[in-house]
Amino acid sequence: MAGPGPGSVPNLEMMWAMKAYQHAEIYFNLISSVDPRFLKLTKEDDQIYAEFRNQFSDMRVDVLDPEQLKSASAKLAWRTFCLQFQTLIEDFNYGTLLRLDCSRDYLEENTIFATRIQFFAVEIARNREGHNTMLYQRSATTKADSVGKQKVKTQEESRGTAAAENTACT
């Protein structure tokens, strides 16, 4: 039996892209629904966070500088960091999408390709340091506004029905 044909590579890339986007979408929905300060992404969150802040103590995580992930010197530092989780985190080097600015959604201009362990390190830091909290608060406010508008609408409809019934009875 012959190996994969030339057309299979683009299909594989498309499948990876779809899976990475689904992961990003699920994560974004999660941090928009649950207070991220209390979220646990892995069993190893404490160790990942401690090692991340030990090795990248000055790195801003609210708005990432792509050079801190992709430059030659950054790649060396990240490689050392990532390899220590090789046996602890399943698929530690699996490709995923990472938001550059944590206050914004996963848009093409706001994402960068990263490994799974880089994603965990940055997002655990964002969660623990309160940077993702604004997304949750914004989402909660939007939901509360929506529920409040629905209650007002229901009350107005109830009053309208009651007024119509009173009119019909007189």
Report the first-to-last Cα separation within the chain, whole angstroms: 86
- Does the pTM surpass 0.85? The reply is no
| Tally of CA atoms within 13 A in the half-sphere of 76 that contains its CB | 2
- CB distance 114 to 96 below 8 Å: yes
Q: What is the pLDDT along the chain (170 residues), one digit of tens a residue?
A: 444 555 566 787 788 888 888 888 999 999 989 999 999 999 999 999 999 999 999 999 999 999 999 999 999 999 999 999 999 999 999 899 999 999 998 999 999 999 999 999 999 999 999 999 998 888 787 765 555 555 555 556 656 555 555 555 55
Q: Which of 67, 68, 51, 50 is nearest to 59 (CA)?
A: 68
